[in-house]
């Protein structure tokens, strides 16, 4: 089974990398870009658990290590 964790900054938290990405895209001629937010994706292989147990375990991982919950939010997708 695989867990995919999407982590990004919470709304209202400044994202200088996202602003730099948006500016660069406009500079490259993509005038339709009005903003960008940068985040990360972590794929975790988990064995021996059903989907509910896997989600519970990955939630604990996010709360303890993977996400800075003060400024970041996360979403967990379970596959397989």
Q: Which domain holds residue 20?
A: 2-79
Q: Residue 49: its pLDDT value, please?
A: 75
Q: Residue 72: its pLDDT value, please?
A: 98
Edge-to-edge strands, sheet with 2-9: 39-45, 2-9, 72-79
Model pLDDT for residues 26-75, shown as the tens digit of each residue: 999 999 999 999 999 999 999 987 999 999 999 999 999 999 999 999 99
Q: How many domains does the chain have?
A: 1
For the entire predicted model, the pTM comes to 0.88
The CATH number covering residue 46 comes to 3.30.1280.10
Q: CA 9 to CA 64: how far, in whole Å?
A: 17
Q: Residue 2: its pLDDT value, please?
A: 97
Is it the case that residue 15 has pLDDT exceeding 90? Answer: yes
Q: Residue 55: its pLDDT value, please?
A: 96
């Amino acid at each position: 089974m695989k867990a995919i964790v999407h982590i990004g900054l919470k709304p209202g938290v400044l994202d200088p990398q996202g602003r730099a990405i948006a500016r660069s895209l406009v500079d490259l001629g993509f005038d339709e870009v009005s903003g960008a937010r940068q985040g990360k994706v972590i794929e975790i292989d988990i064995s021996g658990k059903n989907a509910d147990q896997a989600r519970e375990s990955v939630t604990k991982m996010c709360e303890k290590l993977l996400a800075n919950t003060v400024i970041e939010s996360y979403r967990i997708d379970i596959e397989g």
